[in-house]
Amino acid sequence: MAVINIKSLTDEKPRFVGGHRLCAGCNEGTIVRQVLLAAHEYDVVAFNATGCLEVTTSVYPYSSWGVPWLHEAFENTAAAASGAEAAYKALKRFGDIPEDKKIKFIAFAGDGGTYDIGLQALSGAMERGHSFLYVMLDNEAYMNTGIQRSSSTPEFAWTTTSPVGAAKVGKAQPKKNIVEIVAAHGIPYVATASPSHYVDLMTKVQKALSYEGPTFLAVYSNCNRGHRNDTGDSIKVSRMAVETNYWPLYEIENGKYHITFKPRNPKPIEDWLKLQGRFAHLMKSGNEDKVAELQQWVNSKWELLQKKEEFSNSL
């Protein structure tokens, strides 16, 4: 599929508008706007797990959503999208919806509702083969309920439930690899994205929507409240996550890996860490080994990803 033509979308009516209560600098509104704009050629039904995005965009009697929108609990976003997609197919079979009418289903959920609470429903939907795009907004903690750690939170990060002090240096466990877990279901399309690289993100949305069957997009979503960075630095932090290879941009299409952005000169992980207050303790003397450990984790992950790309494309 060709790279999306951003200029051609400038006259499209926004499907997600301002006036919401998201924090200043929050990336979630930017991401949703990009996703829905990329899906402009389809009728869309959106699903939204409980979380920051849900509570800030649907304060009665107002809504930022220009498409049909359903709010679900933390754990059942994928199940709700599955049910709606199944009903849509049934109504087509009965002739209540014209055969040529195309409706796309897009689910939005955070890392807590994906890595943790909603993993069972997501796995079931992927295994059954329901046709919808699941967009995970990964801000790496339970931000809406008080910045508690999730299994997406990186090692050594401060959260309110992985504190920093004399006894502990933040979260003790590394970040779970949700992309590989989802890809293991054998679905047609899985990818990562970042709002800092919006052409890449929107191209991947269009590619995901072109498939029948479940597709998955993991999007890095900086939260300045939880990550402890300036409100104007959200895109800067997101871009640095990509340029340090902490958040590599790639896709797995029908089992084949393709890295969609390769930094010419990857920056050290410290350049990303020092932008965020949740890692401020790592910048102090005596924690150099922790920074080195994170760098090794990033390097190993990047090397493995390149080997997977090389191997899958040699088959």
Q: How far apart are CA 94 and CA 112, in angstroms?
A: 38
CATH number of 6-312: 3.40.50.970
Q: Give per-residue pLDDT as tens, 128-169.
A: 999 999 999 999 999 999 999 999 999 999 999 999 998 899
Q: Which of 192, 204, 284 is nearest to 241 (CA)?
A: 192
Residue-level pLDDT at 188: 98
- DSSP bridge partners of 137: 110, 219
**pLDDT tens by residue, the chain, 315 residues:** 678 888 888 888 889 998 899 999 999 999 999 999 999 999 999 999 999 999 999 999 999 999 999 999 999 999 999 999 999 999 999 999 999 999 999 999 999 999 999 999 999 999 999 999 999 999 999 999 999 999 999 999 999 999 999 889 999 999 999 999 999 999 999 999 999 999 999 999 999 999 999 999 999 999 999 999 999 999 999 999 999 999 999 999 999 999 999 999 999 999 999 999 999 999 999 999 999 999 999 999 999 999 999 999 998
**Distance (Å, whole) CA 155 – CA 17:** 35
Q: What is the Cα–Cα distance from 299 to 19, expressed in whole angstroms? A: 41
How far does the chain reach from its first CA to its final CA, in angstroms? 21
Angle at 153 between CA 150 and CA 158, to 5 degrees: 105
Rounded to whole angstroms, the Cα distance separating 271 from 243 reads: 9
**Do 224 and 236 touch, CB atoms closer than 8 A?**
no
- Positive or negative torsion for Cα 248, 249, 252, 257: negative
Q: Where are the domains of the chain?
A: 6-312
